Structure 1
Amino acid sequence: MRLELFSTHKKTYLTFILIGVFLWSLLAVNWDKDLFHSGGLSTLFQILEALFQPDLSKEIILLAIQSTWITLSYAVAGVGLAIVIAFILGILASGIFFEAGPLGSLFKTIFRGVLGFLRAIHELVWAWLFVASFGLSPFAAIFALALPFGGILGRIFADMLADVPEEPIQALKSTGASRWQLFFYGYFPIVKTGMLSYTMYRFECGIRSSAIMSFVGLGGLGYQIQLSLDDLHYDEVWTFIFFLIAIVVLIDWWSSQLRSKWTHSTKHWFLPFSSLLTAGLLVGAWCYIYIVDRASIIELFSTKNLEFAKKFFANMFGLGDESPAFFNGESWKAAISLTYDTLRMSIMAIGFSTVLMFLTVLPAARNVANGKLTLTRRWYNWVSFAVIRVGYILSRAIPELVWAMMIIFIFKPGILPGAIALALHNFGILGKLCAEVVEDLDARPIRHLASSGAGKGQILMYGVLPSVFPQFLTYILYRWEVIMRTTIIVGFVGAGGLGQQFKLSMSFFHYSDITLLLFCYILLVWAADFISEWARKTVK
């Protein structure tokens, strides 16, 4: 009886559990005036004032253009390499090349485990490890982007291939097609549009990730933002941020145009143009890396670098250390406490972004702005639509680390500034995704509510929410998984949690501490993946 009751009301129970967990996370913060620096509020006003007065001098504009190209070059090279990794490992992890049976399942599990490990560690952590191992090199940024992005793309590719319907594949098998023929004429044509769509989205993410590689000493827009923040030149900060926003918006537009033209039966000029543009970007990026930056893959694996890397990893595993952190009870106690703080930070962050999303999602939907959903047209609907949509773009285009670098000037160090930084970035992504869900709704039931005199709040509660709740929850839980991976990097600038201690351990060469912190971090990410997957299945 109890199981039947839970099954009937599982969505309601899960909603109350999630709200309760969010409220519990808020108890981690001491909500008093000591949250702010003594000049924190005045700094906030200065940053907001500079938003409308960016530095447009010739010198800064030229520097921004140069930095944009560096950021773009690293992103193109890193994501290009990630696609190769994802394509190979994704095919192997899908299991389509293995015979059914225990051995095939074992190989599939192994390759999925490799993809899981690659994507569990954030790209900035990979960058730290590569710089510590091989020194400062553009390849540190490229490999740091390639590995986690390859893991994320590979997992998506593997799932797409595994979900291909059996009927067309069986039809090809009956003609005697080989495994490669099955892939190129059966599996790939079915999944290629989905692969393209998600790859373009990851490229947009790669731009933001490339920008924050400055934190380990590599150039680009993030490096200029960091320098300008250190010098308190907030007008310069916004100039570089606007360039970052512009490139993210352009890639988002390119992606949407490419997806729409890809499905046309007749070949559109935009497809060959996109192919040429992609080839040009790849050639230009690698030419810049090899000719201008003078990076060398051979020097990266020189005897000196390999010896240094060997020493670094030996120290990480505690070789030559009389008391490695992972054999020390106090170190474990401290690491578990930081892990607990990091968990609460991630819950607080997704809670803040979800609340903001719910407050803005209706006016941000196009079918609400034009009156098709609510049967009411007001001139200010388009104003609110435009303002919120621009806010979404601004929110998601600025990386979490850049938000954290600004917020830490306002709030004292702790998990609250980290949660706010993560929430601000994910609010734009979550809002855009959920607004698109509202736009795709069947409008007829909601129109009945609107025609009976229901207000926007009632329409949201009784019309929109019941229809979109499963999809909203899927996006919320997915973004929580992403936030969990990202919590470690906001700690690099003093926003608390595992990241803050990770940076300190790197600075003081406590390498066995790094191993312990990474172990706790990976366990936390895997736990978030498991809980998120369980919750998504619960609401289906």
Structure 2
Amino acid sequence: MALRISLKPALPLIPLLPGLSLLGVLGVLLRDGHGGGISVLQQFAAGAVQPSIDPIVLGSLLKGLQITLVIAVMSWGISSVLGVGLGLLSSSTFWEIQAGVRWPAVILRRWLAPLRAVHELIWGLLLLQVFGLNGWVAICAIAIPYTVLMARVIADQVDCHVSPAIPVLKGAGATPWAVMLTGLVPPLAEPISDHIGHRLDCALRSALILGVFGLGGLGTDLSLSLRSLQFQELWSGLWMLAIAMVVLDRLLRTLRSWSRMLILPVAMASPWVALGWGTQLDLQLAWPVAEWSMVVGNLIDGSQGFNAALEISWPGVIGATVWITLIAGCVATGLPPLLLLVWPSQASLRLQGVVWGALRLIPAPLTALLLLMLAKPSLALAGLALGLHHGGVMGRVLIDDIRSTGLGSAQTMKACGAPNRVSWLYGPLADVSRAYLTYATYRLDVILRDTAIIGMVGGAGLGWQLMEALSSFHWWLVLWIVLISAVLTLLGESLGERLQGSWNSRAMAL
């Protein structure tokens, strides 16, 4: 009887497989490439070492950076506080402890899901049409999806960290709130505080993206500088942003080293600090008056809604969006481990940290505009721009995981005579591969949402269609695109959750 042997790739090889997509992307770039923008890119690189020191330029950039920080800090504080509260209410464990039922958590989760499926840029552009240009538009555009995303993470953490002490405490007659504080809070303090701190960096980048699309702050200054090819001014702003990101990261690390319980009180106080800061900057923070007449007037006629749904070839648009997502996801996942194996050493981790920080620093739309100087617009170019930006995030995750697990496995394999690259491949990379792949599936959800800001490069996808519909005030078409985007995002989340469960539970032999 013949034995059937199923061959599976070794676990540390799986993160490398998406990197094969780079061959196809490079092939498309070689086919569509042109040399017209090489001199411009040389000027861009030169601007990094010779940024503008004009006092007027620096003053304008500094004010833009402060506005971006105010928007980021205020939206971060609001979304953190509301997200923790809604996360508890969305947890089945919370309702089971409080009332012995689970159905309120299920209903609340279903109600909140569409809110997080809409990208913050889409929220910003929609609110801009209703409320006009106002500081609260950018703040609410970030706070709405971030609150619901935070609630989802908190609810998942609460339901996954059910302490065995909870039934004992309930059996001993402890009150529901005593059970919560004793059985849930201690194991949840570390992961929740880490996630809240991570969301501040995300909020800063989101505020920058909103500025790129005209909602004010440093992003607007960077976009104008790039479009006018003033690279020295552009790099002055990028260096300011880099310093701000490093300072915020150090402050959060110091805060967590003191006590992880301090992060939530700081988040609660941050909106009030940001409000006072924004007032000093003359940022328009008076609550705006909504102008619904134009939007509602266009939506009253239901026949226009049916006709609007037929204006777009949905299979082609959705297919382009999914294709950009897959390209970006493969680039973002495969690039960090590939670069790690090019020069596997402890010294290279520091250099790679600089590379990933630079990719996170430059917003994806600006990366796309730079790539357009080398090649014609295409879906591959859009996916590469988005993948490089998210590759910066994935690279940071990979390096942090390797540093936290240590390099002992690589040293052991080298002592046994294994080559350096093999030692790193089957040592540190194997140790973190499962956690890295789990985070990559979550990142794919984020990339799918971010196609809203990058579809313009390929001239395709839901993001491009949304920009066109908003510019022509075609509100029925805007509504259809937002609904399709939300459904697509929720389907992607469902698939991502199954993949995460697969990576977490499936035993894969080395």
What interval of TM-score do these two structures reach, taking the shorter chain for normalisation? Answer: 0.7 to 0.9
Q: Give the Cα–Cα distance (whole angstroms) in 1 for the partners of residues 297 and 260 of structure 2.
A: 52
Partner of 2:283: 293
Q: Structure 1 350/322 Cα, relative in aligned 2: closer, same or farther at 3 Å?
A: closer
Structure 1 residue 143: Cα displacement: 0.8
- Decide which of 140, 144, 148 is 1:143's aligned counterpart: 140
Q: Check if 1:356 corresponds to 2:335.
A: yes
Q: Give the Cα–Cα distance (whole angstroms) in 1 for the partners of residues 317 and 273 of structure 2.
A: 43
SS in 1 for 2:50: coil
Q: Give the Cα–Cα distance (whole angstroms) in 2 for the partners of residues 246 and 17 of structure 1.
A: 31
Q: Check if 1:511 corresponds to 2:475.
A: yes
Partner of 1:486: 450
Structure 1 residue 5: Cα displacement: 7.3
Partner of 1:220: 217
Q: Give the Cα–Cα distance (whole angstroms) in 1 for the partners of residues 489 and 121 of structure 2.
A: 15
Aligned length: 503
Identity %: 26
SS in 2 for 1:412: coil
- Decide which of 308, 326, 347 is 1:347's aligned counterpart: 326
The Cα offsets for residues 41-69 of structure 1, whole Å up to 9 and x where unpaired, read as: 22222212212211122112211211111
Contact 2:67–2:217 (CA<8 Å) still a contact in 1?
Answer: yes
SS in 2 for 1:491: helix
**Aligned alpha-carbon RMSD (Å):** 3.4
Q: Check if 1:109 corresponds to 2:106.
A: yes
Partner of 1:157: 154
Q: Give the Cα–Cα distance (whole angstroms) in 1 for the partners of residues 314 and 53 of structure 2.
A: 45
Q: Structure 1 170/243 Cα, relative in aligned 2: closer, same or farther at 3 Å?
A: same
Gaps of 5+ in 2: 506-510
Partner of 1:168: 165
Contact 1:10–1:538 (CA<8 Å) still a contact in 2?
Answer: no
Q: Give the Cα–Cα distance (whole angstroms) in 2 for the partners of residues 93 and 364 of structure 1.
A: 45
Contact 2:115–2:144 (CA<8 Å) still a contact in 1?
Answer: yes
Q: Give the Cα–Cα distance (whole angstroms) in 2 for the partners of residues 18 and 443 of structure 1.
A: 20
- Decide which of 62, 84, 88 is 2:85's aligned counterpart: 88
Contact 2:321–2:455 (CA<8 Å) still a contact in 1?
Answer: no
Partner of 1:324: 307
Structure 1 residue 247: Cα displacement: 1.4
Which amino acid is 1:231 matched to? S
Higher alpha-carbon deviation: 160-169 or 389-398: 160-169
Contact 1:362–1:438 (CA<8 Å) still a contact in 2?
Answer: no
Contact 1:22–1:347 (CA<8 Å) still a contact in 2?
Answer: no
Which amino acid is 1:307 matched to? S
SS in 2 for 1:361: helix
Q: Give the Cα–Cα distance (whole angstroms) in 2 for the partners of residues 176 and 286 of structure 1.
A: 44
SS in 1 for 2:276: helix
TM-score when normalising by structure 2: 0.87
The Cα offsets for residues 344-395 of structure 1, whole Å up to 9 and x where unpaired, read as: 1111112222332012335888xx42xxxxxxxxxxxx3x343222112111
Q: Structure 1 10/88 Cα, relative in aligned 2: closer, same or farther at 3 Å?
A: farther
1:109-508 matched pairs, under 5 angstroms: 109-262=106-259, 281-289=270-278, 292-297=282-287, 299-301=288-290, 305-311=291-297, 314=299, 319=302, 321=304, 323-326=306-309, 328=310, 331=312, 334-361=313-340, 368-369=345-346, 382=347, 384-441=348-405, 443-492=407-456, 496-508=460-472
Q: Structure 1 355/322 Cα, relative in aligned 2: closer, same or farther at 3 Å?
A: closer
Q: Give the Cα–Cα distance (whole angstroms) in 2 for the partners of residues 404 and 416 of structure 1.
A: 11
Q: Structure 1 461/5 Cα, relative in aligned 2: closer, same or farther at 3 Å?
A: farther
Q: Check if 1:48 corresponds to 2:48.
A: no
Which amino acid is 1:285 matched to? A
Higher alpha-carbon deviation: 252-261 or 143-152: 252-261
Gaps of 5+ in 1: 265-270, 370-381
Which amino acid is 1:358 matched to? P
Which amino acid is 2:370 matched to? M
Q: Structure 1 14/51 Cα, relative in aligned 2: closer, same or farther at 3 Å?
A: closer
Structure 1 residue 171: Cα displacement: 3.8
The structure, 1 or 2, with the larger RCO (C-alpha pairs under 8 Å, 6+ apart) is 2
TM-score when normalising by structure 1: 0.83
Q: Give the Cα–Cα distance (whole angstroms) in 2 for the partners of residues 445 and 73 of structure 1.
A: 44
